[in-house]
Amino acid sequence: MTGPTYEATADLITLPGTPLADAVVNLIRPVETPSVFNHSIRSYLFARLVAGRLGLATGHDYQDDLLFAACAMHDLGVASDGPHNQRFEVEGADRAASFLTDRGVPAADADQVWQAIALHTSPGIAERRGTLCVLVREGVALDFGNPRDANHLDAVTDEQADALHAAYPRLDMSRSLTDAIVEQAAKDPKNAPRHTVPGELLRERENFGRTRLEHTCHSSRWGN
């Protein structure tokens, strides 16, 4: 069984459109910057392309609603209305799982989403925790465009990338997302343990003004 190819632009940028997916969009859009919101949606669209490259079929190998929920909410931990009292990955995972269970999603499915969000900054671990974790990790990594971290950068043609970015522009994503993570991390020491993504971004921003993530993104395939 092979996954869909999403060759048509309309198919490429179409979101699930289910009541759950619509509820997720309505949750994140008001509380994330436009840049972070677009990054979250592009991560899903890229993850879907990776699924097709890997021959994974929705409804058989993964649930599209769960993939959308996990990708779209993966940065919910830096949302403007959050408590900001733990690492942003864990805060986002907790909020996402609670949101899903409140809407009748089975606990086991909500836990899959929790793992995918909590581990999306953990290469080498996420890939060992099942299909959803793999796809979320790869979708997010693809949106940064760095071949060192994105294992399936060649799964996206230039034409597909142009269509995705036309629908959901980058809007200086690397700076906007770093700003949000650093702001959340600076609120409490336990939000930013050393040698974690939030901890290192905070340290680099404070010490150097610009992070390695921002430097890397600006020289990546997508440019920022």
Query: pTM of this prediction?
Result: 0.92
What are the pLDDT digits (tens) for 67-85? 999 999 999 999 999 999 9
The parent domain of residue 160 ranges over 13-168
Write the CB contacts of 156 (distance below 8 Å, at least 6 apart in sequence). Answer: 46, 49, 142, 164
What are the pLDDT digits (tens) for 122-156? 988 988 999 999 999 999 999 998 756 667 888 89
Is the per-residue pLDDT at 1 higher than 60?
no
Is the per-residue pLDDT at 40 higher than 90?
yes
pLDDT band of residue 2 (cuts 50, 70, 90) is very low
182 or 3, greater pLDDT: 182
- DSSP code of residue 18: S
Among 23-37, 146-160, 198-212, the least confident range? 146-160
pLDDT band of residue 4 (cuts 50, 70, 90) is low
Determine, yes or no, domain membership for 32: yes
d(CA 215, CA 195): 18
Identify the pLDDT of residue 150.
66
Determine, yes or no, domain membership for 18: yes
Q: Which of 116-120, 154-158, 187-191 has the highest mean pLDDT?
A: 116-120
Neighbours of 1 (CB within 10 A): 7
Determine, yes or no, domain membership for 4: no
Identify the pLDDT of residue 86.
94
d(CA 148, CA 204): 20
Q: Please state at what angle helix 34-53 crosses helix 64-72, rounded to 10 degrees.
A: 140
How many domains are there within the chain? 1
147 or 38, greater pLDDT: 38
Determine, yes or no, domain membership for 222: no
For the segment 6-17, the average pLDDT, to the nearest whole number, is: 79
Is the per-residue pLDDT at 58 higher than 50?
yes
DSSP helix/strand/coil, 93: helix
Which domain CATH number covers 75?
A: 1.10.3210.10
Write the CB contacts of 22 (distance below 8 Å, at least 6 apart in sequence). Answer: none
d(CA 133, CA 126): 5
DSSP helix/strand/coil, 157: coil
Determine, yes or no, domain membership for 209: no
Determine, yes or no, domain membership for 205: no
d(CA 98, CA 27): 12
